[in-house]
Copies of this chain bind each other. A is one copy, B any other.
Amino acid sequence: MSSTAITDSPAPWLRDNCPCDTCRDPRNGQKLFQITDLPPGLAVGSVREVPGATGAGWEVVWEPDGHRSLYPADWLDAHAPTGGARGTGGDGRTEADKELWAAADLAGRLPDASWDAYVGDRAVRIHALESVRRLGFVLLREVPRRDRMVLDVAETFGFVRRTNYGELFEVRVEPDPNNLAFTGALITPHTDNPYRDPVPTVQLLHCLRNEARGGDSGLVDGFHAAALLRREDPRAFDVLTRVPVEFSFTDARTELRAQRPLIDVDPLGRIREVRFNNRSIGTLHESAPVLAEFYAAYRRFGELLLRPALRLDFRLAPGDCLIFDNTRLLHARTAFAESGARHLQGAYADLDGLGSALAVLRRDGAAA
C-alpha cells in the first residue's frame, strides 16, 4: 500500500476517524470531539509509514493544528474510499442484505432449530438468529409449552416491546375481540401493527395448542413481493413508496394512527420496510388522480402477495415458536373452527436487539 489511501481521502473524514486516545475515550470507544471542533482548513501536513507492534501503519501530522493520528494499514485497507465504490457493509436491514425467497426456495430447508440446541449451542443460535436476518424467520421446535414462555424466548435475543395488546397477547377465540386475530376467521397475509410508529420489528408466536380443524399458518416474503412489483410494474412500485397511507386502530383504551408508505425504501432506493394490513388501513386523503393511481398499485401489490407460489404454508405444532421480521414478512392463517382448541401466545420485540445479540455471539465465538 502507498500513501494514496491517505492523500485520496477527504481530510475531515480521515480526521474524524482518528483512533487516538484524545479523540476516542479509551474506556468505551466513544468519540470525544465534535465535528465543529476540527480546525477550518484541515489538511494532511505530512504522512509517513511507521512500523508497529500490531502491524504497519501510517502516521499523519495535521495542518494547521499539529495533531498526530496513527492509522493502522489494515484499517485503511478496509475503510479508505477507493475509486468511488460504495462499501458493501450495510446494516443488514435492506433488501441488499437479504435472501429473498418464494415458497419453493425453502422446500426441504425450512430454517428451524430445537429449543435445547438453540439454548445450548452457540452455532445453532447464531444460525437461528442469522435466519431471521437473512430469510426473515426461524422456527424453534420443542419450546416448553409453558404459559408466558414466549417472553423468555424473546429475552434470548432482545427485549420485549409492550403494546396496547399487553406484554404478550393470547391468540385464541375471545368473546369480545378487539381484533379479528382473536376470532376463528381466516386472516390474509399482513404485517402487524402498521398503526404503530415505530412498528414492532420482530414478532414471536408460540404455539401452545393446535387441535382445531384449520388454523394453518402462512408466510410471504414482502421484500420479494415488492421486488417483483418493481420489476413487473415499476410505476406501481414507485407510487407505493411515495404515498403515505393512514393506518389506524381504535378500541376503548387506544387510538393509534400512523401514516407511512406501504413500501419504505432507504435513501438509495433499497426496500427497507413493508406494511400491509387491509384490516387497519384507513381513509386516504389525496387528490382524485393520486387516489386512482394509488388504488391501482395497491391492488396490484395485493394480488402479488396472494400468489400461491410466494406463500410458504405450514402448520404450527404445539411447542413451535415462530420468530419473524415484522418489517418484511407477512403472516397469515387459514380459518379454524371456533370450537376447536387453538392457542398461541404472541409477543413483539425488535430487530436491533436481535442484531446485537447475533454480533456479540459471533464476536465472543471468534475470541473464544
Of A136-144, A196-204, A224-232, the stretch lying at the interface with chain B is: A196-204
Contact A197 B351 (CB under 8 A): yes
In A83-108, the 8 Å CB interface with B consists of 83-93
For window 188-219 of A, CB contacts with B under 8 Å fall at: 188, 195-199, 201
Question: Could you give, for residues 256-296 of chain A, a 1 whenever the CB lies within 8 Å of some chain B CB and a 0 otherwise?
Answer: 11110100001110000000001111011111111110111
| Interchain CB contact under 8 A, B180 and A25 | yes
CB 8 Å contact bits of A168-199 with B (1 = contact, 0 = none): 00000000111110000000100000011111
Which of A55-63, A112-120, A239-247 is found at the contact surface with chain B? A239-247
Chain A contact patch, size range = 35 or more
Residues of chain B within 8 A (CB-CB) of A279 are 30-32
The reply to whether the CB of A163 lies closer than 8 angstroms to some CB of chain B is: yes
Task: Determine whether A72 belongs to the interface, using a CB cutoff of 8 Å to chain B.
Answer: no
A35-B159 contact given A279-B30, A352-B197, A356-B256, CB 8 Å threshold: no
| A164 surroundings in chain B (CB, below 8 A) | 353, 356
A37 to chain B, nearest CB (A): 9
In the docked arrangement, what's the CA distance between A253 and B364, Å?
10
B28 touches A286 (CB 8 A): no
A35 to B164, CA, bound (A): 27
Judged by a CB distance under 8 angstroms, whether A8 is at the interface is yes
Q: Is the CB of A10 within 8 A of B295?
A: yes
User: CB of A16 within 8 A of chain B?
Assistant: yes
Complex contacts, A8 vs chain B, CB 8 Å:
288
Least Cβ–Cβ distance between A326 and chain B, in angstroms: 11
Closest to A29 in B: B250
Contacts of A84 in B (CB 8 A): 287-289
Chain B contacts of A355 at CB under 8 A?
256-257
A145 within 8 A of B: no
> Is A329 on the interface with B (CB-CB < 8 A)?
no
A255 in contact with B356 given A27-B177, A35-B298, A302-B36 (CB within 8 Å) = yes
Secondary structure of the A contact surface, majority rule = loop
A303 touches B (CB below 8 Å): yes
Q: Is A325 an interface residue (CB 8 A)?
A: no
Closest residue of chain B to A285 (Cβ to Cβ) is: B87
Taking CB atoms, residues of chain B closer than 8 Å to A253 are: 360
A86-B285 in contact (CB<8A): yes
Give the complex CA separation of A243 and B241 in angstroms.
18
**CA A197 to CA B88, docked complex, whole Å:** 19
- Give Cα A163 to B349, complex, Å: 11
Task: Assess the B267–A299 pair: CB atoms within 8 A.
Answer: no
Most chain B beta-carbon neighbours within 10 Å: one of A91, A196, A243: A91
Residues of A within 8 A of B (CB): 8-10, 12-13, 16-17, 25, 27-36, 38, 79, 81, 83-93, 159-164, 176-180, 188, 195-199, 201, 241-244, 246, 250-251, 253-259, 261, 266-268, 278-281, 283-292, 294-296, 298-299, 302-303, 306, 350-353, 355-356, 359-360, 363
Between-chain CB contacts (< 8 Å), 27 pairs: A9-B291, A10-B291, A10-B295, A28-B180, A32-B279, A34-B188, A35-B278, A35-B295, A35-B298, A35-B302, A38-B299, A81-B286, A81-B291, A83-B287, A84-B288, A87-B285, A91-B259, A159-B161, A159-B163, A197-B351, A198-B198, A198-B352, A243-B267, A244-B266, A255-B356, A256-B355, A261-B267
